[in-house]
């Protein structure tokens, strides 16, 4: 009898442990513009926590940039584009045309990536501004379009189970410019876990506090947030992994 109880107890403990380890939600750390050296230096930190991020590259895709992009992809990260001239899509389209925006800002980057053997399926809007017309223009080229939180400045959560294959994703900025608070960011990660939702953060460079700009990610904060997300069994993924999570129901 005692042996049976012990076996049952062990089974129950194993079930509880498995349930506790079940992944919950997903957090996407994204970084804009181009800080190739610093981004590569951060790869070991992401690896330490089994995390992948998304890096959006602005400007001409030179051989040097293509090399950095390939190294990031080889480390499991998503690489996306951020336009050729960092041109705000919404006003440009209104003043000119969708065709002109694609010709000037998107096609040159995509063509260069194709020449270097880079497959790109994600895009971040310059200045984080988007509208439905811009989304429709870009969806033939990209699956996920990163923007900001919009005029209401509310943190956005996207239920993982119903995430569309192609969708815009609004992100919360991290850096002193955005008045970020570490405690609030942790609360947002916890909410993503509780609701099994996708939460997106964006920043730019990564480096030690005091040696970076106001729109950049303190490396100390990044490590603390990665560790906190891991403690809650939150997935830490790049944009290219989102559709796989949704389709597998994981």
In angstroms, the CA 154 to CA 162 distance is 20
Residue 239 resides in a domain: yes
- Residue range 164-218, pLDDT digits in tens: 999 999 999 999 999 999 999 999 999 999 999 999 999 999 999 999 999 999 9
The residue segments making up the domain with residue 138 are 25-248
Mean pLDDT (whole number) for 86-95: 97
Higher pLDDT, 9 or 113: 113
Residue 42 resides in a domain: yes
Residue 3 resides in a domain: no
Asked if pLDDT for residue 20 goes beyond 90, the answer is no
Q: Which of the 8 DSSP states describes residue 209?
A: T
- Residue range 121-168, pLDDT digits in tens: 999 999 999 999 999 999 999 999 999 997 778 999 999 999 999 999
Residue 18 resides in a domain: no
Residue 128 resides in a domain: yes
Residue 243 resides in a domain: yes
- State the total domains in the chain: 1
Please name which of 221, 96, 246, 101 lies closest in space to residue 162, comparing C-alpha atoms: 246
In angstroms, the CA 206 to CA 130 distance is 25
pTM score of the predicted model: 0.91
The pLDDT assigned to 248 comes to 54
The pLDDT assigned to 201 comes to 99
- pLDDT band for position 247 (50/70/90)? low
Residue 201 resides in a domain: yes
Residue 12 resides in a domain: no
Q: What is the CATH number of the domain that holds 222?
A: 3.20.20.370
The pLDDT assigned to 13 comes to 46
């Amino acid at each position: 009898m005692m042996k049976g109880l012990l076996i049952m107890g062990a089974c129950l403990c194993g079930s509880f442990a498995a349930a506790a380890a079940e992944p919950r939600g997903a957090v996407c750390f994204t970084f804009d513009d181009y800080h190739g050296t610093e981004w590569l230096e951060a790869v070991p930190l992401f690896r330490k926590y089994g995390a992948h991020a998304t890096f959006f590259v602005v400007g001409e895709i030179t051989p040097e940039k293509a090399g950095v992009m390939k190294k990031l992809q080889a480390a499991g990260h998503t690489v996306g584009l951020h336009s050729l001239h960092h041109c705000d899509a919404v006003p440009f389209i209104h003043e000119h045309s969708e065709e002109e925006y694609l010709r000037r800002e998107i096609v040159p980057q995509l063509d260069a990536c194709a020449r270097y053997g880079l497959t790109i399926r994600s895009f971040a809007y310059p200045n984080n501004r988007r509208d439905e017309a811009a989304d429709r223009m870009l969806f033939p080229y990209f699956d996920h379009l990163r923007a900001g939180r919009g005029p209401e400045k509310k943190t956005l959560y996207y239920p993982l189970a119903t995430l569309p294959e192609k969708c815009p994703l609004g992100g919360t900025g991290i850096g002193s410019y955005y008045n970020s608070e570490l405690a609030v960011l942790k609360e947002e990660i916890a909410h993503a876990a509780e609701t099994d939702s996708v939460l997106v953060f964006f920043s730019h460079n990564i480096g030690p506090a005091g040696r970076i700009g106001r729109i950049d990610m303190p490396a100390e904060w990044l490590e603390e947030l990665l560790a906190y997300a891991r403690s809650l069994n939150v997935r830490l993924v790049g944009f290219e992994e989102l559709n796989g999570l949704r389709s597998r129901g994981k």
